[in-house]
């Protein structure tokens, strides 16, 4: 667990000062309404008001969504979105909020939200029906899909080339079931192995202990960039799944849910979502890498619809 002492200002501070707290490009909207008089806080907002703390779950190797370089605070696209939600929470309850950081894995992230170990999960988590049965999600923040990572020059160009090959997946991801289903459907005699996190999965391919790594394409490009393996590792094949990402939080928390939805709508209306995307996917990252992943037309449409006011 990490607690870096970051405090998100509440109503007593000028809302515009949040622009500096939240990494500049986020710029929390001025004029966000505070708690409605006479309405009692409940759930996560009540807990935040009483403790002054919001617990954020982060991933250690899901660049550029959520990662933690050695000796540095968690950072990434999902981290910035989560801190924006925390800023809205601070405005809503009228007090400063400190952020407590808790690392989560693919295997324990859902359970961590359910149990209350984290209030928001800020990673690269697919919003699917199975998870929606037990947790709630923000609007879609990214659309990815399962692809394969292999060494440059490998004979693997598609999932159909995996017969007799060792394929690694990160335990607890949707990609694991995708690969099992493909192997069953097409009768591909592949050997599927699991690793605890994306960094370990990547390392198995880099070291030759696995022939391919199956996970979401954006994560694969991030891992190649983080390991400076452009030209050594390649992302190959067709999309094998549809993976819409969202920020996770607990179910049956109507006040938090309304705040999250409102925060995303405000970011869409003010045009903040586009520059935030560009910061993490098109520009050079703080550690020097550059992914050059343009926003998909599907995500553009989703962001545009978030900012549309009903007539």
Q: Return the CATH number of the domain spanning residue range 7-143+244-306.
A: 3.40.190.10
**77 or 9: which leads in pLDDT:** 77
- Give the CA dihedral 285, 289, 292, 295, nearest 10 degrees: -40
Confidence at residue 164, expressed as pLDDT on a 0 to 100 scale: 97
3-state secondary structure 132-180: HCCEEECCCCEEECEEEEEECCCCCCCHHHCCCCEEEEECCCHHHHHHH
Cis peptide bond upstream of 64, omega within 30: yes
**CA–CA dist 232, 157 (Å, integer):** 15
Confidence at residue 22, expressed as pLDDT on a 0 to 100 scale: 36
Q: What is the pLDDT of residues 82-106, one digit of tens each?
A: 999 999 999 999 999 999 999 999 9
| Strand duo 191-195 + 166-170: pairing | parallel
Mean pLDDT, residues 19-33: 36
**258 or 23: which leads in pLDDT:** 258
Q: What is the pLDDT of residues 242-283, one digit of tens each?
A: 999 999 999 999 999 999 999 999 999 999 999 999 999 999
CB under 8 Å to 135, separation ≥6 — which residues? 110, 113, 114, 248, 249, 250, 251
Q: For residue 19, is pLDDT > 50? A: no
Domain 146-236 class, CATH top level: alpha beta
The pTM of the full predicted model, rounded to 2 decimals, is: 0.85
Domain ranges of the chain: 7-143+244-306, 146-236
Confidence at residue 286, expressed as pLDDT on a 0 to 100 scale: 85
Q: Which three-class secondary structure state does DSSP give residue 2?
A: strand
Confidence at residue 307, expressed as pLDDT on a 0 to 100 scale: 87
**Same fold for the domain at 7-143+244-306 and the one at 146-236?**
yes
Quick one: how far is CA 72 from the chain centroid? Answer: 18
């Amino acid at each position: 667990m990490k607690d870096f002492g970051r405090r998100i200002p509440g109503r007593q501070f000028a809302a515009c000062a949040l622009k500096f707290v939240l990494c500049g490009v986020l710029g929390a909207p001025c004029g966000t309404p505070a708690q409605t008089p006479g309405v009692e806080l409940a759930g996560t907002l009540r807990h935040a008001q009483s403790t002054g703390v919001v617990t954020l779950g982060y991933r250690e190797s899901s660049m550029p969504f959520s990662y933690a370089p050695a000796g540095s605070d968690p950072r990434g696209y999902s981290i910035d979105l989560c801190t924006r939600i925390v800023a809205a929470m601070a405005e809503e309850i009228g007090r400063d909020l400190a952020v407590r950081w808790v690392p989560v894995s693919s295997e324990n992230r859902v359970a961590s939200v359910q149990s209350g170990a984290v209030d928001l999960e800020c990673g690269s988590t697919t919003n699917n029906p199975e998870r929606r049965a037990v947790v709630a999600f923000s609007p879609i923040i990214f659309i990815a899909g399962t692809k394969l990572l292999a060494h440059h020059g490998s004979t693997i160009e598609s999932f159909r080339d995996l017969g007799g090959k060792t394929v690694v997946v990160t335990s607890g991801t949707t990609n694991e079931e995708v690969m099992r289903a493909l192997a069953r459907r097409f009768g591909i005699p592949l050997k599927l192995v699991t690793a605890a996190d994306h960094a370990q999965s990547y390392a198995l391919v880099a070291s030759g202990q696995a022939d391919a790594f199956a996970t979401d394409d954006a994560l694969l490009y991030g891992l190649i960039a983080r390991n400076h393996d452009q030209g050594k590792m390649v992302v190959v094949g067709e999309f094998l799944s549809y993976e819409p990402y969202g920020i996770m939080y607990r179910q049956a928390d109507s006040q938090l849910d309304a705040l999250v939805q409102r925060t995303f709508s405000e970011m869409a209306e003010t045009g903040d979502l586009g520059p935030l995307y560009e910061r993490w996917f098109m520009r050079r990252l703080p550690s020097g890498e550059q992914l050059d992943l343009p926003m998909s037309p599907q995500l553009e449409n989703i962001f545009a619809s978030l900012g549309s006011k009903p007539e």
